[in-house]
A and B are shown apart, each in its own frame.
Chain A
């Protein structure tokens, strides 16, 4: 079995109102010096495959087809 973590983040240049709101909330809690917060998503996957190369390819395909919207998001795959 292969475990993997997919991280999906907004592309540079795409506004992130939720990140902005979190940034504001951190400021109101007294955390100083937070220049920027960007919110993203994390997916933890468990695959039957035993072949890491194959798994990476399969996960990239999943990202392109469903897990990320590549119009606005980037993704990164990490095998754990």
Chain B
């Protein structure tokens, strides 16, 4: 399985071992970490939840797409669920390839698609005691807000569609949470 969940802290070194290949000359990894602020609010903890039955399928499809689109050797994505503290790793993506260019591209593709397509949700717990589901609360409360339109658009993104990774990256920038 090229996409999986864990309730335990992600072991990046062990994951990296799975991608070793004598034909690979490069390896790229992306780690998403829990940051202490988002959209102007002080965050002290995150909670991740997934609809695992579908998330595993969709995640696996994304990694498979990356392997089809880019000439890379191996790719893997591990996502954390449960409660995470500041600086902990929420997601790990690793790609090994003959050359670095494809490894960067495939890694970028996977994380961008995972953020937009896989049914995973995160709840921010703020320093002031408040909390909220990212991408859900504000648009629901004020659907005419500019953010709501951005979210609505994000949601119309076709599953497995032929969108370029660049577009995904641009789009995700407005409400990215991780420190990337």
Q: Do A and B actually bind?
A: no
Chain A residues within CB distance 8 Å of chain B = none
